[in-house]
Structure 1
Amino acid sequence: MRVCLILEGSYPYANGGVSSWMNQYIQAMPDVEFVLWVIADKAEKKGKYKYDVLSYPNVVEINEVFLDDALKLKAGKEVKYHFTEAQREALSNLIECKSTSWEDLCYLFQDKKINPSDFLMSEDFLKILTELCVNDYPNAAFADTFHTIRSMMIPVLYLLGRKVPKADIYHTICTGYGGLLGVLGHYKYKKPLILSEHGIYSREREEEIIRAAWVQPSFKKQWIRFYYMLSDAVYKRAKYVTSLFTNARLTQIELGADPDKCIVISNGIHYDNFKDIPLKEDDGVVDIGAVIRMAPIKDVKTMIYSFSELTHKMKNVRLHILGGIDDEEYNEQCHDLVKQLGLKEGENIIFPGQVQVTEYMKKFDFTILTSISEGQPLSVLESLASRRPCVTTEVGCCRELLEGAPGDDLGVVGFCVPPMHREALAEEMYRMCQDRNMRIKMGELGQRRVDLYYRHPEMIKKYKKLYDN
């Protein structure tokens, strides 16, 4: 069996999160041949992997796609297209970010090999764009609308023209651009498509766009529709749509996925790697750990602000922020914030970088997670398996992990707070710091929860069953 795994902006170029999950996933299925079809933003990342994926015997092929290569496409001579009515409607719906016929679009840019740059400079494109301007953006400058729509269309049309690796199954780990490649593989070789979402991609992009300064306010709705359109393409064509927890499945159904195709497969961790990590001795200092990536979506700034407030209430506390750097500028801003707040880097706030989590976990009394968006965070599962309770933001299924899913009456193993709420986070950290016996009891219950419901081998069996079906 040959499975094409499709990833966007993560494995094998980045550490942590989905990348760590994917690496373990591949190694857990030695009898499956994997083709990796991976998307990165810049061609300079070519071959620069964070994992030794080239040494894995079951990874038989790696196909890299770089979005900045789309900007290098040159328009040739002027082309007069002869589209059918259905093709013209598909193109028009695509440009307007409506539900469209991806089969017609795949035919045009994959089989007929239309040059995206030629099309985006054609009379046909300008005619559709003019209609959009008149109907939806009568008060916007034509040039602004042109460049906005063109920036949406270039990567989409570029991806539709990529060479498709052969496989028996196409398995995409997100919607968006990765999902689009899944749709393309499904079209090209008429093979089944599986979608596994760790977070709801379209909802995450919507949150980003609402806050984004680079998107003109008049075009924010268009960008949001764009990402929902890409999600719709995969939901409608996937044989299975998996999610990590019940509420995510309900969201997928709300967004158009067929309920009969939607399956919950919870994350699993290697429980035995964490279950015997000893508890930290009571040395008079409470050590708090955060296993994250330095990225805006992890909201490290709120974490630092809240920790600063905590230090005003008690002095015997340390914060350890572990993990790699996704965003250099954001990382620098976080370090600057530490200085501005008068915290002592290296003393009461420590940045060890990328470390062996199972070793470093010995230093922690409990852990925190301040993400703005999550699915089912592995760092929380690993913390609980290590008998460390958690304070998290109420995102993804964090509350379910800390308080139990339906049918799980083990009890509370941590505290949830609203995202970006500094005071609430500081208060719950203070509450956790004050009671060592509570932390130990919560830790024991959390470990039991992971043992019962979140083991890696059980997760792998469920995905393997989808492949076998």
Structure 2
Amino acid sequence: MRICLVLEGCYPYVNGGVSTWMHQYITEMPEHEFVLWVIAAKAEDRDKFVYQLPSNVVEIHQVFLDDALRLKGTGVMDHAFTPEEIHALEELISSGKPDWDLLFSMYQVQRINPMSYLKSEAFLRAFEESLEKHYPYIAYADAFHSTRSRLLPVLYLLSTEVPKADCYHAICTGYGGLLASLGAYLYQKPLLLTEHGIYTREREEEIIGAQWVGKAFKQQWIQFFYMLSVLIYSRAYRVTSLYRGAMQMQIDMGAAAEKCSVIANGISYEKFCHIPRKEEDGMVDIGAVVRFAPIKDIKTMIYAFYELSTRMEHVRLHILGGVDDQEYADECLALIEQLHLQDKILVPGRVNVVEYFAKLDFTLLTSLSEGQPLSVLESFAAGLPVVTTDVGSCSELILGIPPDTFGRAGYFVPPMQREKLADAMEILASSREVRLSMGKIGQMRACTYFQYHTMLSKYRDLYKEVEELGRNRL
């Protein structure tokens, strides 16, 4: 089967949990051909892949959002919009409930030029009606630029070339979900959605704290991403997530419960389970398999470790991972120096974690948002307990959920709580017996519930179901 995977902001341009998962996923399914339809922010990243694409990747279509800024109009808009088309565009402008089939047709079949529309009288009329209805007391220019910046990427994506496939499988909602929905509509093929994190909730958190969105427009931007999630939730044949809490969020946001299921992450257990435990050497070594990115909250990690180091002398932290945000990484390294922790915090960068786990006593994750982190599952498989923040499925991983009765495999605390993180680390750092006991529990949990072959088998079954659906449509 020819499967179009639609990705946004990850594989194959950057390293990370989702990218690693995606690369292994494709590699382990040689019976299928994969078309990658990938969205990235900047055209300067074209072909700058950090992965060597597997041989069963037969095409890659790259779409860059900043290319939308270079769109040119075709002169005066000469399209005579029907009342239905006007209503669909008005709903899109207000982040309401547009007729997506009509919009897909307008930009793929009728080939309306996005920039010509945004410069047309038709757009100005629709914008002014929306402004009067939603923002009667907001400066015209501010509302105009905010609205255009929301619409331009969508109209650009609606007009992009659509690769052909037997199935469209989006790995997020948002812009990726939009493209997958477009492909499924245009070629009348099944649509699947797999979310590692709940994209819309992540964008909501980002927008609330963002400086680039004016306070008056934050709710409109949030509603915009909810609109995009409803699009694919309503059209997908199957919607999968990594854990029960995420599935419930998908249902709450509009996915039909009968479409939804959980397919937990899986790791190559055999690769990690034979790693020997570190012998006592007078030091307690804590590892953080994490890239330098604000969402990983490494600054709180550093502060929490500083607090721990004031309580216990013989502790070390190893930050193992690459750099997503160089400015943030520089700030973190400067903080390490400011706190005089250069001898206690080691930053070797990307390493072979299988080899490095033998040097560690437990691991640490301080993220502000996660789905079902592979670093936690790999730590468990290696027999290492974990301290995490209570995000995504981390609490479920630490404690287990029925029918899992193995017990506690570490600790979780609220995000950004440096003292509570230090408290949890201190418990594990104080007792080798506790570390070994919890590490064994984590290892049993990984072996029983999070094996890679189990996960892959479930996705293969999903593709078989879709393939049968396609045959029945013929």
TM-score scaled by structure 1? 0.98
Correspondence for 1:461: 457
Measure how far apart 1:247 and its partner are. Answer: 0.9
Q: 1:90 & 1:466 partners in 2: Cα distance?
A: 33
Equivalent pairs, count: 465
Q: Which residue of 2 aligns with 1:5?
A: 5
The residue that corresponds to 1:343 in the other structure is 341
Q: Which residue of 2 aligns with 1:293?
A: 291
Provide, for residues 68-103 of structure 1, a one-character-per-residue CA deviation record: whole Å limited to 9, x for no partner.
Answer: 111100123111432222211111111101122111
Alignment of structure 1 residues 13-24 onto 2, 5 Å: 13-24=13-24
1:372-412, Cα deviation, whole Å (9 max, x unpaired): 11000000000000000000000000010010012111000
- Counterparts of 1:292-311 in structure 2, within 5 Å, are 292-311=290-309
Quote the offset at 1:332 in angstroms: 1.0
Which residue, 176, 196, 214 being the options, matches 1:178?
A: 176
The separation in 2 between residues aligned to 1:336 and 1:215, in whole angstroms, is 29
CA offset at residue 132 of structure 1? 1.6
Amino acid at match of 2:319: I
Percent of aligned positions that are identical: 56
Q: Of residues 119, 122, 126 in structure 1, which corresponds to 2:120? A: 122
The residue aligned with 2:411 is 415
* Alignment map for 1:86-165 (pairs within 5 Å): 86-165=84-163
Match of 2:35 in 1: 35
Aligned match for 2:220, one of 216, 222, 231:
222
Q: Decide which of 300, 320, 323 is 1:322's aligned counterpart.
A: 320
1:35-54 residue pairs with structure 2 within 5 A? 35-53=35-53
Q: How far 1:128 moved relative to its partner?
A: 1.2
418-427 vs 195-204, greater mean Cα deviation: 418-427
Segments of structure 2 that go 5 or more residues without pairing to the other structure are 466-474
Aligned Cα RMSD in Å?
0.8
The Cα of 1:107 is off from its aligned counterpart by 0.7
Secondary structure at 2:347 match in 1: strand
Runs of 4+ in 1 over 3 A off after TM superposition: none
User: Which of 249, 263, 270 is equivalent to 2:268?
Assistant: 270
| 1:361, distance to aligned residue in structure 2 (A) | 1.1
The answer on 1:404 being equivalent to 2:400 is: yes
| Letter paired with 1:81 | H
Q: For residue 431 of structure 1, what is the amino acid of its counterpart? A: I
- Given that 1:318 and 1:349 are in contact with CA atoms closer than 8 Å, whether structure 2 keeps it comes out as yes
Tell me whether 1:352 sits opposite 2:348 in the alignment: yes
Residue 447 of structure 1 aligns with an amino acid whose one-letter code is: Q
Whether the 8 Å CA contact 1:81–1:124 is kept in 2: the answer is: no
SS in 2 for 1:305: helix
* CA–CA distance in structure 1, aligned partners of residues 315 and 269 of structure 2: 28
The equivalent residue for 1:442 is: 438
Range with greater deviation from structure 2 (374-383 or 209-218): 209-218
Shift of 1:203: 0.2
Q: Displacement, 1:119? A: 0.5
Q: Amino acid of the residue matched to residue 311 of structure 1? A: S
| Separation in 1, partners of 2:137, 2:419 | 42
What is the TM-score of this pair, normalised by structure 2?
0.97
Instruction: Give structure 1 stretches of 5+ with no counterpart.
Output: none
- SS at the partner of 1:149? helix
What is the CA deviation profile of residues 185-237 of structure 1, one whole-angstrom value per residue up to 9, with x for unaligned ones? 01110000000000000000000111111111111101100111111110000
